[in-house]
Chain A
Amino acid sequence: MKITREDILHLAKLSNFSLSEDEIKSLGTDLENIIGYISELNELDTEGVEPTYQVFEMENVWRDDEIKEQEASREDLLNLTTESAQDQIKVPKVL
């Protein structure tokens, strides 16, 4: 399968990457090779087979709906961000 420049730009948008020109080119080649490889799976007959998304042998795990004391405080968490003000995380204006 041929991966075009438009395909790469679309995937970069979905992935939220501002790729450089060089990256658009090199990732195009890489992705085309990888997709070529994984496409070998087409040979395998999976007609009538159910998919398996998880292997943890269980369906639902229940717990009581109660708020527990958290290990990390609000202050701890705010300390992790680049910019904060008035107990909120600060970002550039959106509108």
Chain B
Amino acid sequence: MRIASKEISAVSLVKEALGKAKKYEDKNIFVSLNEENALRKAKEIDEKIARGEKVGRLAGVPYALKDNFLSKEGMTTASSHILEPFESPIDSTTVKKLESEGAIMIGRTNLDSFAHGSSTENSYFGVTKNARSDERVAGGSSGGSAVAVALDIVEFATGTDTGGSIRQPASFNGVYGFKPTYGTISRYGVVAMASSTDCIGFFTKSTEDMDLLMEICSGQDENDLTTLPDYYLDSKIKPAKKVGIIKDFDNDKVDENIKNALKEKVEFLKKKGVEIVELNMPTLKYALAVYYIIVPAEVASNLSRYDGIRYGFRSSEAKDLDEIYSKTRNEGFMTENKRRIMIGNFVLSSGFYDAYYLKAEKARTKIIEEYENAFKQVDFIITPVSPNPAFKIGEKVNDPVSMYLEDVMSVPINLAGVPSLAIPAGKTKEGLSLGLQIVGPRRSDKALLKFANELKEESDA
């Protein structure tokens, strides 16, 4: 990535990024731009450079912030009506770490409201369009961030991945998207969706950039007690000798383009002398049902805090306290938010708890065991991210189950807490981006990025 120096000023980098953001206004990538603050910060960095002072590793690098990260600059809306007027008094840990290295946020990107969705169509601020086609979805929920990087507006963007929200839009737009091991990056100051699977990660144009961002942002945080002890920098890296493919994912629901992209990578690995192992993971076909029980349960709990009392939007129709809650929530949430909250309350309610929620948490154990067994046999697993390239806007948005099926290959990874990187894997004849994902055991994050880099260098040559 380009970093500000005596040769390239931070102001010119930021102006260029803002110019591109405006040029692509029709794609509806940004919820808001951060022009004034960004230019002021860029100027400060240029002054430091001119004085010969030390600047950070991301000095003057423009980036886009998914609009569910708290930052003191501008509103944090989570692309919802209920948080539309929310001006955060604090910065999230990720924002703090990035900015302490000199990165400059030029705008906040669109998402499915509260990250509920796989297309960025469920946003209060409208649909984000795919980087390659105006008729297609950006993917989601981090659609705006993926498109901002794919169109080269910014060097990198932040994302959150609860069940594929970084990897699927990355693959729909042809960029790298990383969901680290659960607990690697602090979730402090990020709007919570499902606390047991939420992960912070990034979109970049290269694995080297991803590695740098991971070095900067990973690590234990006393404000998020689920963060792992620092491990990223000390990870040992061995060359991958065995790579697994999942037999259970090879079926007629997977698009031919994606099957071929996977075949090509597998052939390439074989030529390199990597042994390919076919894995049987029969429980994975239940992962989507498990996910759409556990995640709504956690969503129902996490989103109960939006009550119109302490912050955010409050309905003007409400006459008493009960109405403040029920009208604010009804007006403030999108349909998909309501579906998930109600499903969550259904699976947690008495009479259904054992059959749904408890059953799903037991199934989760089996899914984790399947990954543990798989990683006894192989170093990494390579699979599609989603069964198809970007679909048409409007095609699935009114049919929740068909939208959920988009996530069938991405959610098991979150349930197991393992890392996965979406990598670009060519294009269809029509020019739509294709992607694959590489999955590794817990804490293999650095090795995984290194492996992905090897995959790229040689297949491009």
Contact = CB atoms under 8 A, between A and B. Distances in A.
Tell whether A and B belong to one assembly. Answer: yes
Interface of A: 8, 11-12, 14-20, 23, 26-27, 30-31, 33-44, 46, 49-58, 61, 63, 71-73, 76-77, 79-82, 89, 91-94
Nearest to A41: B289
A55 B196 contact: yes
B361 A51 contact: yes
6 contacts: A17-B326, A18-B323, A39-B289, A50-B365, A54-B196, A57-B228
Given A27-B339, A50-B362, A81-B309, 5 more contacts: A11-B349, A33-B399, A44-B363, A57-B183, A77-B89
Contacts of B318: 92
B338 A27 contact: yes
Contacts of B327: 18
Contacts of B400: 30, 33-34
A55 B89 contact: no
Contact of B311 (A8, A34, A71, A81): A81
B324 interface: yes
B324 A91 contact: yes
Q: Is the interface of B mostly helix, strand, loop or mixed?
A: helix
Contacts of A55: 182-183, 196, 368, 415-417
Contacts of A53: 196, 361
B366 A72 contact: no
Nearest to B288: A37
Contacts of B416: 55
A72 B89 contact: yes
Contact of A37 (B349, B358, B401): B401
Contacts of A41: 286, 289-290, 293, 356, 359-360, 363
A30 B326 contact: no
A61 B225 CA distance: 7
Residue of A26, A41, A94 ringed by the most chain B CB atoms within 10 A: A41
Given A38-B356, A40-B289, A41-B293, A49 B362 contact: yes
B341 interface: yes
A35 B312 CA distance: 31
Contact of A15 (B308, B309, B329): B329
Nearest to B91: A71
Contacts of A54: 196, 226
Given A55-B368, A82-B308, A15 B342 contact: yes
Interface in B349-371: 349, 355-356, 358-366, 368
A34 B310 contact: no
Interface in B260-294: 283, 286, 289-290, 292-293
